[in-house]
Amino acid sequence: MQYTHLGRSGLKVSRLCLGTMNFGPQTEEPDAHAIMDSALESGINFFDTANVYGGTGHRGWTEEIIGRWFAQGGERRERTVLATKLYGTMTDRPNESRLSALNIRRALDASLKRLQTDYIDVYQFHHIDRDTPWDEIWQAIEVAVQQGKILYSGSSNFAGWHIAQAQEAARRRNYTGLVSEQSIYNLFRREVELEVIPSAQQYGLGLIPWSPLQGGLLGGVLKKQEQGVRRAEGRALETLKKHQDQIQQYEDFADDLGHAPGDVALAWLLHQPAVTAPIVGPRTQEQLDAAVRALDVTLDADALKRLDDIFPGHRPAPEDYAW
């Protein structure tokens, strides 16, 4: 396994992050525990979750599954860099969502209880809260750090200027601020190259891409359809029809490279600036094994250029759209 620092922090994490959103709703608890054990065995020490994971009928379910896994002992907690998130609505009561000081305190304590741990390594804001001032947010986070309940802070789904706002507010308080940003980023979705990645680089944040395979469209979907293994539906089917020629070029190029399409998509992300660790969210052990395999894929300059030709990206703003 390869490891790197999370942004400018001294925290070392694996180059793949285990996403747990499927645990509970799609992956039964014994299988989820087995996947987490296997992830540790393969060297993945970075696990990501959120307080809302588990579905509308059982928010917090995923954290509970992870907590029961930690409770089995075997230094599972000590070997894991644990990241969770807050922002989403947990109940229909007021102050049970977003980033007020009250919700930060309550949501953090609730996550700690569900996770059966006394601290969170990386506590992430799942979304920007436009109604809460940053001084209030940072004051609440500073208190949690002083209490030993969290070690680092991260953001998710922030725009570049949101990162700048957060970091400048933290700087005024002589506080570290954010060490990571979690954004959608893959060969299909490259908007973060405009301003989020430049902002992350400027402020020393590690980028944690989610949906690295764009819902499976970069995982060999056409070949799987031919084999009868997978059938696209809904929005994925619409996207597939719209971009079928593009996806076919991509899958053919992956064949030329001698790698599975999903491995190439993950390897491409690992070659991008500021990227710390793509989030892989396996439903099964086989999917986890496939993700780990991508660490052995090296893409040379010609391969990277070919992928840019198939999936054009962005230059940093404003050069992307101005002189």
Q: Which residues are catalytic?
A: 53
Backbone angles phi, psi at 80, to 5 degrees: -110, 130
Q: 210, 297, 234: which is closest to 261 by C-alpha?
A: 297
The separation between the first and the last C-alpha atoms of the chain, rounded to the nearest angstrom, is 42
Residues 6+ apart with CB under 8 A from 267: 259, 294, 295, 297, 298, 299
- Cis peptide preceding 25, ω within 30 of 0: no
From the list 85, 86, 83, 118, the residue with the least C-alpha distance to 99 is 86
Sole residue written with tokens 């001698």? 258
For residues 303, 305, 307, 310, the Cα torsion angle rounded to the nearest 10 degrees is: -140
Determine the length of the chain: 323
169 touches 181 (CB < 8 A): no
Token reading at 162? 């949101």
DSSP letter, residue 177: -
Q: For CA atoms 26, 30, 34, 37, give the dihedral sign.
A: positive
Q: Which residue has the tokens 């747990």?
A: 20
**The tokens of 53 are what?**
């994971």
Cα–Cα dist 49/85, whole Å: 7
- 3-state class (DSSP) for residue 175: coil
